A and B are shown apart, each in its own frame.
Chain A
Amino acid sequence: MSGTFVGMPAFPEAAREAVADRTLRGNLRHATHTIRAKREKAVAEVSDWAELREAGRRIKDHTLRHLDRYLVQLEESVTAAGGTVHWAADAAEANRIVARLVAETGESEVVKVKSMATQEIGLNEALEAEGVRAYETDLAELIVQLGKDRPSHILVPAIHRNRGEIRDVFRREMGAWGRPAPEGLTDTPAELAEAARLHLREKFLRARVGISGANFMIAETGTLVVVESEGNGRMCLTLPETLISVVGIEKILPTWRDLEVFLQTLPRSSTAERMNPYTSMWTGTTDEDGPRAFHLVLLDNGRTDTLADEVGRQALRCIRCSACLNVCPVYERAGGHAYGSVYPGPIGAILSPQLRGTASGIDASLPYASSLCGACYEVCPVAIDIPEVLVRLRERVVEGGPVVRDGNRVVLRPAKGHAAERAAMRAARWAFARPGALRAGQRLASRTRRLHPRTLPGPGRAWSATRDLPAVPAEPFRDWWRRTRGGEEAE
């Protein structure tokens, strides 16, 4: 079933399949390399990128530091502007609120703007259970929905599909959802975009309820901002009579002026454009322009738990640009599905185990889904030190310790399945604290070196299945140093 991640295998197993899928590897490589080069160019155009990045980091940190105050201010501003604010502690509560709001309109279908928050809470499935059909209107979301697929990228959920695959999905599935694909549809991107335009237009024109997320919410004014490209966002935000926006509580910015930072950094980091084609800003409701009713659902769903960790809370700065995915060598090879979450890639590897906890196999494996190369941190427009948070979460997995889950402080036990590793780490620490023990080990290795195999059985296969073992030298350096006094005496 689309949209669900329950029972996902842990990252290494899921990644193994992806690595072996040549089409997928090719699609991801092509897409990520295309956008990487463009992003670099778009960022290089701005001479004060480092200052914008730093200001973005500070604005977000300040907001998180005073999040309670800004949430209350936002609520007041939105209410004063004619909107209604709802609070949802978790996914189930958010879904209940939205389902009730839709039911009150008497409608049985809604149009949706691409939104990570509603994906995160599984809103479409929850509405389906209430007899409401939710139509995704973003091109990539449409491809995923029609293909009964799962999203694999924050910005471009169908990045794992190439144009030929997209054409096949459109031809096969569009008819069941509404207007069928045009006869003789080819795989040129322009024709595919045209097919989506025709298919969705009838839905936009008759829609009475729109559902969105938001990129930013301004506490001081109550303004919401949606950044998009296609115009489907504008359709959903302005044509229906009722608009429901589900937004994570961390999306707040204190002031209108703060947009001057993020409207410069987000488009360049995300689609590598100077500015995205369309940005919509609205404050409550406006007489005779756009929806008559506006509901804002403020979503926690693990965000306050994340906020409680002094290292991990920086993940809440994220503006969902996806630059970290596009530059990540692991994402490029493992693909988005392996991360078992609507948040894939490096940011997903630090967000999912914090929002959902580390109890499941997939969530406990995500902090290890990185070589800690740091490319993600380098491109992040709000300077999230993703490697630092990954290591922090690895610690949580192997050492356990105090965390906050669902608002309650609990003490995690060290995860099972790391016993052998923990023993090895302790043994290594013991030996490394005693140079004599290290030397004895080195000598034993050197003396037996002719007996060492080139490949290893059991867990050692993880190395030797694809790599030879390094040869052990005749003597370790420290023996040479002692024997020759640092090379001063003959060898």
Chain B
Amino acid sequence: MSTRERILGRVRRALADVAPDDTPYERAVERAYAREHGRLDAVAAAGLLAGNLADYRARVHRCAEDGLPAVVGRLLAGRGARTVLVPDGLDPAWLADSDARRVPDLAASTPAELDRVDSVVTGCAVAIAETGTIVLDGGPGQGRRRITLVPDHHVCVVRVPDQVVTSVPLALERLDPTRPSTWISGPSATSDIELDRVEGVHGPRTLDVVLVGRPPGGGPR
């Protein structure tokens, strides 16, 4: 008998005392919890997102669409970034005000090469206000998972309000499980010394999140 069969057999014997139950899963578990904790309008949701991101030591910046290149340029210059990783599909306009050398996100790059890059700029798939989380799923402008990990500085652009949801349940609805995803809530941190949180271990020690709103007076994009 294979180990697979042995384990499945053990499971079935272990459950011999349990009454049969064929309730479909959708009805088997009562979900009395909230889909979101209070309905927030777009302004409030963005405010909550900003507050929670900042609470976990992300640096939060807000600007209108046309101000984005200046903000990104300033953030990169402020770090003294000479090189910046650029994932496929990133709007080139975002980097218009930066003279850092562009490094493309290539499958062939080695981790050591990525380690020599100063900063990375990406978009995201969705952001969660209640938890101060940005989620990247490898979609356009987000790149491979490792590019937002190895460089020490990550600039992430969130479109407000389109990409902001209030809660974890609403975020999961927007994501495709077949795509690898990375949920980021503040810069790398640890609670391993005396159970107290310290920021800055292996991931980027600086996380800049730019919340980009529609231009003043502009209509829907």
- Taking Cβ atoms with an 8 Å cutoff, the residues of A that contact B are 27, 30-32, 34-35, 46-48, 51-52, 54-55, 58-59, 62, 65, 67-68, 71-72, 75, 81, 87-89, 93, 137-140, 143, 155-156, 158-159, 162-163, 166, 189-190, 192-194, 196-197, 200-201, 204-206, 218, 220-221, 223, 229-232, 234-235, 237-239, 249, 254-257, 259-261, 263-264, 267, 271, 273-283, 286, 288-290, 298, 300, 304-305, 307-308, 310, 313, 326, 404, 407
Instruction: Tell me if B32 and A260 are in contact (CB < 8 A).
Output: no
How close is A385's CB to chain B, nearest CB, in angstroms?
A: 18
Please classify how large the interface on chain B is, using the bins under 10, 10 to 19, 20 to 34, 35 or more. Answer: 35 or more
Whether A156 lies near B202 (C-beta < 8 A) is no
Task: Let me know if A48 and B193 touch, CB within 8 A.
Answer: no
**Smallest CB-CB separation from B23: which chain A residue?**
A62
Q: A55-B32, A274-B131, A277-B56 are in contact. Are A81 and B188 (CB under 8 A)?
A: no
CB pair B187 A277 closer than 8 Å:
yes
B34 within 8 Å of A (CB atoms): yes
Q: Chain A residues near B32 (CB, 8 Å)?
A: 48, 51, 54-55
Q: List 29 A-B contacts (CB under 8 A).
A: A34-B194, A34-B196, A46-B37, A47-B34, A48-B32, A51-B33, A52-B33, A59-B29, A68-B12, A87-B4, A87-B7, A193-B201, A197-B200, A230-B201, A237-B145, A263-B172, A274-B130, A275-B131, A275-B132, A277-B186, A278-B183, A279-B183, A280-B145, A283-B179, A288-B144, A289-B146, A300-B7, A304-B14, A307-B10
Find out whether the CB atom of A68 lies under 8 angstroms from the CB atom of B11: yes
Please determine whether B146 and A307 come into contact, CB atoms closer than 8 angstroms: no
Give the residue among A27, A88, A263, A305 with the most B Cβ atoms within 10 A. Answer: A263
Contact B2 A230 (CB under 8 A): no
Residues of B within 8 A of A257 (CB): 169, 172
Please tell me which one of the listed residues B21, B178, B180 contacts residue A65 in the complex, with CB atoms under 8 A apart: B21
Q: Is the CB of A282 within 8 A of B180?
A: yes
Q: B184-198 CB contact bits vs A (8 Å, 1 = yes)? A: 111111111111111
The 7 closest A-B pairs by CB, nearest first: A231-B203, A231-B202, A304-B10, A308-B14, A275-B131, A279-B183, A230-B201
From B128, which residue of chain A is reached at the shortest CB distance? A275
For residue B93, CB closer than 8 A to chain A, the reply is no
The chain A residue with its CB closest to the CB of B112 is A205
Question: Which residues of chain B have C-beta atoms less than 8 A from A276's C-beta?
Answer: 185
Q: Does B83 contact A (CB under 8 A)?
A: no
What's the minimum C-beta distance from B27 to chain A, rounded to whole angstroms?
11
Bound: A362/B68 CA distance, A: 62
Residues of B within 8 A of A158 (CB): 192
Whether B111 contacts A163 by the Cβ 8 Å rule is no
Identify 8 new A-B residue pairs, CB closer than 8 A, beyond the known A230-B189, A271-B191: A55-B33, A156-B192, A205-B112, A223-B177, A234-B182, A234-B202, A238-B149, A277-B187
Docked-complex contact A290 and B111, CB < 8 angstroms = no
**A contact residues around B37 at 8 Å (CB):** 46-48
Which residue from chain A places its CB closest to the CB of B29 in the assembled complex?
A: A58
A-B contact count (CB 8 A): 261
Shortest distance from the beta carbon of B214 to any chain A beta carbon, whole Å: 27
The answer on a CB contact under 8 Å between A278 and B168 is no
- Whether A278 contacts B200 by the Cβ 8 Å rule is no
Write the nearest CB–CB distance from A489 to chain B, whole angstroms: 57
A239 touches B202 (CB 8 A): no
**Contact partners of B221 in chain A: CB under 8 A:** none
Q: Which residues of B contact A159 (CB under 8 A)?
A: 194-195
User: Cβ of B28: which chain A residues have Cβ within 8 Å of it?
Assistant: 58, 62
Q: How far is the CA of A159 from the CA of B187 in the complex (A)?
A: 23
Q: How far is the CA of A36 from the CA of B66 in the complex (A)?
A: 46
Is the Cβ of B193 less than 8 Å from the Cβ of A163? yes
Smallest beta-carbon distance B188→chain A, Å? 4
- In the assembled complex, the CB of B113 is this many whole angstroms from the nearest CB of chain A, namely 10
Closest beta carbon of chain A to B195's beta carbon, Å: 4
Contact (Cβ within 8 A) A221 B10: no
Q: How far is the CA of A304 from the CA of B14 in the complex (A)?
A: 7
Q: Are A229 and B115 in contact (CB under 8 A)?
A: no
Q: Across the interface, do A48 and B192 meet the contact criterion of CB distance under 8 Å?
A: no
Contact (Cβ within 8 A) B107 A288: yes
The answer to whether A278 and B182 have CB atoms under 8 Å apart is yes
A230 with B203, Cβ < 8 A, contacts A205-B111, A277-B188, A308-B14 known: yes
> What mask results when residues 63 to 90 of chain B are scored 1 for a CB within 8 Å of chain A, else 0?
0000000000000000000000000000
Is the Cβ of B145 less than 8 Å from the Cβ of A407? no
Contact A259 B4 (CB under 8 A): no
Minimum C-beta distance from B103 to chain A (A): 16
> For chain B residues 15-56, which have a beta carbon within 8 Å of chain A?
15, 17-18, 21, 25, 28-34, 37, 52, 55-56
A197, A220, A263: the one contacting B201 at CB < 8 Å is A197
Q: Contact between A190 and B198 (Cβ–Cβ < 8 Å)?
A: yes
Q: Measured between alpha carbons, how far is A58 from B21 in the docked complex, in Å?
A: 14
Q: Could you tell me if B25 and A189 are in contact, using CB atoms closer than 8 angstroms?
A: no
Known A87-B4, A189-B194, A307-B14: A255·B169 in contact at CB below 8 Å: no
Residues of B within 8 A of A163 (CB): 193-194
In contact, B138 and A289 (Cβ under 8 angstroms): yes
Once the chains are docked, how many angstroms separate the CA of A205 from the CA of B172? 31
Q: A67-B15, A204-B202 are in contact. Are A279 and B6 (CB under 8 A)?
A: no
A230 to B215, CA, bound (A): 36
Q: A190-B198, A229-B188, A277-B188 are in contact. Are A304 and B11 (CB under 8 A)?
A: yes
Report B115-157 CB contacts with A as 1/0, cut-off 8 Å. Answer: 1000000000000101111000010000011100110000000
A229 touches which of B149, B191, B204 (Cβ 8 Å) = B191
Interfacial chain A residues near B179, Cβ < 8 Å: 283, 286
Q: Which residues of A contact B184 (CB under 8 A)?
A: 277-278
Tell me whether B193 and A307 are in contact (CB under 8 A).
no
